[in-house]
Amino acid sequence: MGRRALLWVLVLAVVAAAVWWTQLRPREARVSVYFVAPADGSSTLVAVERVVTARGAEALLRAAFDALLGGPTPVERARGLTTEIPAGTRLRGLRVREGTVVVDLSGELASGGGSSSMQARVWQIVYTATQLPAAGRVRILLEGREAAALGGEGVLIDRPLGRPGAVPRF
């Protein structure tokens, strides 16, 4: 390999490293995860900040959903925060398209709980998914399929959902 070719390889390697470092490498970022807290005889959502390593809207939201599905930390539980999302619920997929987050969750999401629990689950998902400007609405899929409602309680998820004007109580 001649000197000139070696120089070009070196220049290309430096450029590739610079692009990766400035444009592609995951960075530390803060996301919000929404858990349930008591509020005057009912329940509501409370945002908890988590530090994640990700870059781009989809990666940030995936990290937020990983934290959501992991549930509150022991310290958060001691503060009274809980989750209505059943243990074992998995994130099967997530993508952002034209301002809508499409989140695909495993079937455990629909198991157990009454109407208040189902409402809390939906709002935990909606608020966690819609925290970025690029994503104002969320479409919830169960096991890769669209569903009309969540669980036997019939909380409607038949269309993309956005945040209401005020934080819901359930």
Please tell me the pTM assigned to this model: 0.84
If pLDDT is split at 50, 70 and 90, which confidence band does 33 have?
A: very high
How high is the pLDDT of residue 112?
A: 87
Could you give the CA distance from residue 67 to residue 71 in angstroms, rounded to a whole number? 7
The total of structural domains in the chain comes to 1
What pLDDT is recorded for position 124? Answer: 98
pLDDT digits (tens, 9 = 90+) for 109-151: 999 889 999 999 999 999 999 999 989 999 999 999 999 999 8
Determine, yes or no, domain membership for 170.
no
Q: Is residue 11 part of a domain?
A: yes
Beta strand residue intervals within 67-158, DSSP E: 91-97, 100-105, 137-142, 145-146, 149-150, 155-156
With a cut of 90, say whether residue 11 has pLDDT above it: no
Residue 20 lies in a domain: yes
Instruction: Share the mean pLDDT of the chain.
Output: 90
- Residue-wise pLDDT for 46-83, tens only, equals 999 999 999 899 999 999 999 999 999 999 999 999 99
Structural domain containing residue 34 = 3-162
In a domain, 40, yes or no: yes
In a domain, 95, yes or no: yes
Structural domain contains residue 167: no
User: Does residue 169 lie in a domain region?
Assistant: no
Which of the four pLDDT bands, split at 50, 70 and 90, describes residue 5? confident
Burial of 37 (0-12, 13-18, 19+ CB in 10 A): middle
CB atoms within 10 A of CB 71: 16
